[in-house]
Amino acid sequence: MRVINVAAAQLGPIQKADSRQAVVKRMIALMDEARSKGADLIVYPELALTTFFPRWYMENQAEVDAWFEREMPNAATKPLFERAAHHQIAMNFGYAELTPDGHHFNTSILTDKSGKIVGKYRKVHLPGHSEFDTERAFQHLEKRYFEPGDLGFNVWRTLGGIIGMAICNDRRWPETYRVMGLQGVEMVLIGYNTPSANPEKRVEALEKRMFHNRLSLQAGAYQNSTWVVGVAKAGVEDGHPLFGGSLIVNPDGEIVVEASTEADELLVHPCDLDATRFGKNTIFNFAEHRRIEHYGLISSRTGAVPPPET
């Protein structure tokens, strides 16, 4: 057995006025709880340090850049890294990254138990739009503030296993999991900030949105025989609700633990990486069953093109 005790650290709402230092204190409190429960790895949400700022339309670049981190760790997050090293807990969290050469990414990092960053991922599948949309109840401007990730879907050997990362909307795209699956991934860490309402389909109920969340994570886990850890930022941020539903899914696609609140909440579960082997060696033995000669459209075509009418 190769067991990682995983703590899924759901965060409740972060208001626009909340400082990074205040948020880090909450993250440290969850980390302390995780340590008391024997966790090896703690997983936080997408954009864990701030409110979900892409819901606002901004034209002033200095105002936009104030939501981004220019280095990691920095003064605000140093206490989090120090506590992780003290507790000997690896961690994963998301933040808005501004690179030295001026690029903006929705980013996630993975550390080892010493607090050293061993992996970085930048969100590939950016949802939403880039200009103010008068038809929406609220804005979703990730395409305005972020560039598509440029690092691909890598995996890292750490904590005795093979671990990958994705962010929010990436979870809805099977290519996300498959690219990592083709590298033998055994655990995928996914943070998200997802509105409780669909601004383009206002009649869609919360229950359906949470169903789609579970469906995406469970399908990705099962079809690649990997653990999946999905962690939300939830609750009402400045009047805008985000749903929770943080969960851990086993390699059979079964939910083994799920959050019950929209507040700061910790879920801890022992994840045996050896449980991935059965699926990888049988029904999802890629080397035996994949037929790449028939998959060309997946990488050669972006949009759907129907066949010609006869």
Contact of 128 with 141, CB cutoff 8 Å: yes
Residue 28 identity (one-letter amino acid)? I
Burial of residue 198, with CB atoms counted within 10 A of its CB: 0-12 exposed, 13-18 middle, 19 or more buried: middle
φ, ψ dihedrals at 47, nearest 5°: 45, 55
- Dist. CA 143–CA 90, nearest whole Å: 31
Q: Choose, from 46, 97, 262, 265, the residue flagged as catalytic.
A: 46
69 is catalytic: no
- DSSP string covering 54-75, please? GGS----HHHHHTTSBSSSS-T
Q: Choose, from 33, 59, 97, 123, the residue flagged as catalytic.
A: 123
Q: Choose, from 97, 142, 168, 262, the residue flagged as catalytic.
A: 168
Provide the 3-class DSSP secondary structure of residue 130: coil
Number of alpha helices (DSSP H) and beta strands (DSSP E) in the chain: 9, 14
- Dist. CA 7–CA 33, nearest whole Å: 9
123 is catalytic: yes
Write out the catalytic residue numbers: 46, 123, 168
